[in-house]
Structure 1
Amino acid sequence: MTLRPRRSVLYMPGSNARALEKARSLNADSLVLDLEDAVAPDQKAAAREQVLAAVNKGGYGDRELVVRVNGFDTPWGRDDIVAFANAPIAALCLPKVESAGEVNAVVQLLKQEGSNLKLWLMAETPRGVLNIDEICGADKRNEVIVMGTSDLAKELRVPHTPDRLGMQVSLQICMLAARAHGLDILDGVYLDIKDEAGYAAACEQGVVLGFDGKTLIHPSQIEPANRAFAPSAETVDRARRIIEAWEAAKAEKKAVAVVDGKLVEVLHFEEAKRHLAIHEAIQSRV
């Protein structure tokens, strides 16, 4: 089992050359080089060229590179997609996706360009959340759902509270869709970069809700996310013991095993394998 860690996914403004350079040394699992929200309209074309030059130059190591393009229906979206269709990146991130038709339009353009890029889909509007199952199933290129919680809170007219009560239904609908389609799903950003305790609590909440990682707006948020979304030492140790016990039970033609006095079935074995695979993938980045 080979899995890609996406504990920390940092947005970097495509119009900021210093940020693009600094990103080469940051310990984020993934980088989203942003051409959308972080770039003013009169800087869109220049930012596109700057990001393209940066990724072609390389130097980002094993960090997963993703470019957030402008919406397909904007004056810049189509040109963004064509520009990066065959660039040395892992995926395009599509903002404010609301229908499978939008995904299909991007896929057709990528096919015309001979591109095999994967797609990350942003869920940040009520319609996008309501259609998320259909959106996820639109094409096999779909790889990750990204929660755009800032826009979503605005559209839902709910406040940003620690429990995120007003967004819980939306978060869980998208979580269900992600798991139903075998996709990763990333939690939204935490806006107060000085609130370390609040951010740590938000990361822990994201883990409890089942997210694979968190999108970030500042480098200082990377290490707390890396810690929170990685299997703990205790989890890794238990995973190894579950695998060992299950394999021993299987060799004896038994359907269950016992670890720490608790029953272990095949579902626990599969979960343990996933924890261990994520741990090994993280260790390979060190």
Structure 2
Amino acid sequence: MTETMTNTSPRAPHAGHARPDRPRAALVRHLLEMALAMIAGMVLLGPLRTAVGAAVGLAPAFERPDVGALLMATDMSVGMAVWMRYRRHSWPAVGEMTAAMYLPILVLLVPFEAGLLGADALLVGGHLLMLPAMVLAALRRRDEYARHPADAPAVARHRLVAALARRWPTGLALLLTLEMLLSPAVPPAPILLVLPAAYLVIGAVRGRLGGPRMIALQLAGLVVWSALALAALTVDGALAGWLVAAGWLGHAAWDVAHHRANRVVPRGYAEWCAVFDTCVGLAVVLAVLAR
């Protein structure tokens, strides 16, 4: 693997130079960053809000679909606003993106309260309508979203904040797996197929699969994890759990190798995947040991 996955990444640009992102790519990158920040806000603030609601006797109110949808929009808005300010977006831009979170919910509350829309449709529809609302808000300030500050934001001068900002994929992975670590379980074995398949798809889309040797390596990975999934499906009990754990932890090592080589997938994705896979693997180990 060392020979196949040599580091061919270009040298990082000087801090004072502008990033080479094209305007459209920079705009898409901003939207993806904000979407991840929204997820982080929902994952982090949701359990905290639930705990506070239970402590002060507001749990029944929080469980109402209409209230829950508005609280969900609040969680996502907070996460997104924090990230946007870190990225030095203007306050009007933050306000418009926050409105893009609330407006879909407010619009759908009308048919919901009239009994024309169910609770599930309210939540799913709210999520789906947020995406075009975000795009419209970004296009309204195309110049602001189409540029990427070359220098680090002022808040990043603090070493701790700068370190946390650089390791945001790790933080996001920890947030997404926190509940699984607190309540360990064994995920279905077929999910193991997604791990190597994602590398093939992302690498193909990015045009970073390289030559025949790299393609053969990725296909070999698909065969290995397919075999692990099949083996886990054919056995029962603890052995199946150990095979699933081996698949997740083994893919974490795969992620680390790709992160170091900077091949096939973006380094941020490889970092996120390495931490996510490790946490899931540890949760599976805990679940098997608890049986």
> TM tier, shorter chain?
under 0.3
Where is the helix percentage greater, Structure 1 or Structure 2?
2
Where is the strand percentage greater, Structure 1 or Structure 2?
1
- Which structure has the larger Rg? 2
Q: TM-score, normalised by structure 2?
A: 0.26
Higher relative contact order (Cα pairs below 8 Å, separated by 6+ residues): 2
Q: TM-score, normalised by structure 1?
A: 0.26
